[in-house]
Amino acid sequence: MYKTPEDFVDELWEDNQVLYKASQIQIKAFYDSKPDNDKLFNNFVRRMTNERMNMVEIAKAISASAYDTDPKELVSLSKQMLDEANHFRMVYDIIPHVSGKECDLGRDVPVELADLKTKGARIAERYDVENDPIALALYQSIVEGHASCNWQVMADTMEDPILSTTYAKIAADERFHAKLGKHSLAKMLDTEEKQEYARELAKKMRKDLYDINCGGNIPVEESRKMIEEYYGEDFIAGKGHTTVELKEIYS
């Protein structure tokens, strides 16, 4: 059924919230489990590489943009690319501080790039965002919205003020990117056909994000139940993540 683009986008956004909450619980569980320095190092190299991948995907999208793309859209995308480059640098700088180990980009980034299961930026490749404007805007809205919630829970969980304020800044940027995505979607999704396409793509992206979040953090039973109740059994069918209950982490 056709809805006004604004109502449709609001509904899409609302449907993300359970995923975001479930992911935040899993991230908080990871940090509260007091991971050792090696685990922290790997976790942050993954996050750093993800920021770099976001930057590269946006660069590709700008490069391949249609000739009639509004320059304002290109400015928004370029601003986002600069934000991602800044985040890449921020997380790179923070790795020795958080883990006591230096990151060697030539050694560590290729390993992360080869890992296909734990990065949100993979979704950009999978859904060909550089050639599909609806997929690009959904990616901005859903994936960056997910990232903003995740960086914010890290900012709230970390006791170190350098980490906490740095992550809060990244979270704020990601919120802005999600708004850009929502704005683009509201401009594009003006037919029932487009809305149906976006709805189906959004479902797939949310499934992928849950999978990625489980792969990079601690799969929590309470999160799994939330996901199953809201999105249905199909959402997690065949995923095979071994979950732990929160009481095991916080006992």
Partner 1 sequence: MIKFDEAELVKMAEGAEFDTDVKTFVNGMIDDSETLFAASEAQVEAYYKGITDKAELVKHFQGRMVCERMNLVEICDTIANAPVDMDPKELQLLSKQALDEANHFRIVKGVVEYLGGEPVNLEEAVEYELTKNREIKGAKLLDKYNCKEDEIALGVYQLLAEGRAARNWQKMADTVTDSFIAESYGKIAKDERFHAKLGARRLMQLLDTQEKRDHAAEIAEKMRLDLFDINCMNTVVLEESLQMMEDAYGYKSQKEVTA
Decide whether 125 or 228 has the Cβ nearer to partner 1: 125
Residue numbers at the binding site for partner 1 (CB under 8 A): 52, 55-56, 59-60, 62-63, 66-72, 74-75, 77-79, 81-82, 84-86, 88-90, 92-94, 105-106, 109-110, 113, 162, 165-166, 169
Decide whether 33 or 86 has the Cβ nearer to partner 1: 86
- Name the phi and psi angles at 160, rounded to 5: -65, 120
Least CB distance from residue 239 to partner 1, whole Å?
30
Decide whether 82 or 237 has the Cβ nearer to partner 1: 82
Closest CA to 150 of 8, 43, 36, 12: 43
Decide whether 60 or 203 has the Cβ nearer to partner 1: 60
Return contacts of 149-155, CB within 8 angstroms, 24+ apart: 149/20, 149/21, 149/23, 149/24, 150/23, 150/24, 150/27, 150/213, 152/24, 153/24, 153/27, 153/28, 154/27, 154/31
Least CB distance from residue 174 to partner 1, whole Å?
15
Q: How far apart are CA 246 and CA 199, in angstroms?
A: 32
Task: Quote the strand ranges of the chain, DSSP E.
Answer: none
Contact between residue 218 and residue 249 where contact means Cβ atoms under 8 Å apart: yes
Decide whether 79 or 179 has the Cβ nearer to partner 1: 79
Decide whether 85 or 249 has the Cβ nearer to partner 1: 85
Least CB distance from residue 131 to partner 1, whole Å?
14
Least CB distance from residue 51 to partner 1, whole Å?
9
Least CB distance from residue 149 to partner 1, whole Å?
20
Question: What are the tokens at 61?
Answer: 């999208």
| Helical (H) or strand (E) element with 195 | helix 192-216
Contact between residue 210 and residue 236 where contact means Cβ atoms under 8 Å apart: yes
Least CB distance from residue 50 to partner 1, whole Å?
14
